[in-house]
Amino acid sequence: SLERTLSILKPDAVAKNVIGEIYSRFEKAGLKVIAARMAWLSQSEAEGFYAVHRERPFFKDLVSFMTSGPVMIQVLEGENAVLTHRDLMGATDPKKAAPGTIRADFAESIDANAVHGSDGAETAAVEIAYFFPSSQIHSR
């Protein structure tokens, strides 16, 4: 079904100058960019976004990495957008990511893993609302 997902190109991907290459993969897979903005997240914005991971041992490193430079945040829309985007990203740990996936091609480590994507339709709705008011989402 037609879905939306929240996608973030992390500071490592932005620093590598591969925003366009990654957007091209989204478009070729049938995902449309219906909202986008660049942001340098504050500590509290990053902590709030990743609140579900607050008790995990990697939380501090995750927040510190996500605030280390600008990120590119987008809403993608398409058939089965959540799973399509997750397939394009590959496994969380780039060492385990299948060849040809974004993480296999651009990521260095489980923290600097190039992209974030919502893990389900309900999470996507929450994550999209965290960054974009509906007035900034342009479905067409």
What phi and psi, each to the nearest 5 degrees, are found at residue 37? -160, 150
Q: Is 138 a catalytic residue?
A: no
Choose which of 25, 105, 111, 121 interacts with ligand CMP (CB under 6 A). Answer: 111
Task: Name the minimum Å distance from CB 135 to ligand CMP.
Answer: 26
126 is a site residue for ligand CMP (CB under 6 A): no
Q: Measure the CA dihedral 62/63/64/69, to 10°.
A: 100
Task: Name the minimum Å distance from CB 35 to ligand CMP.
Answer: 18
Pairwise CA distance, residues 96 & 98, whole Å: 6
Contact of 10 with 64, CB cutoff 8 Å: no
Contact of 79 with 2, CB cutoff 8 Å: yes
Of the candidates 53, 85, 116, 138, the residue annotated as catalytic is: 116
Between CA 54 and CA 45, with CA 96 as vertex, the angle to 5 degrees is: 25
Choose which of 6, 26, 113, 128 interacts with ligand CMP (CB under 6 A). Answer: 113
Residue type, 79: E
Which parts of 32-91 interact with ligand CMP (CB under 6 A)?
Answer: 53, 58, 62
113 is in an annotated binding site: yes
User: Pattern of binders to ligand CMP over 91-110, x per CB under 6 A?
Assistant: -x-----------------x
Q: Which stretch binds ligand CMP (CB under 6 A): 13-21, 39-47, 98-106, 111-119?
A: 111-119
123 is in an annotated binding site: no
Closest CA to 68 of 27, 107, 10, 24: 10
Residues forming the active site: 116
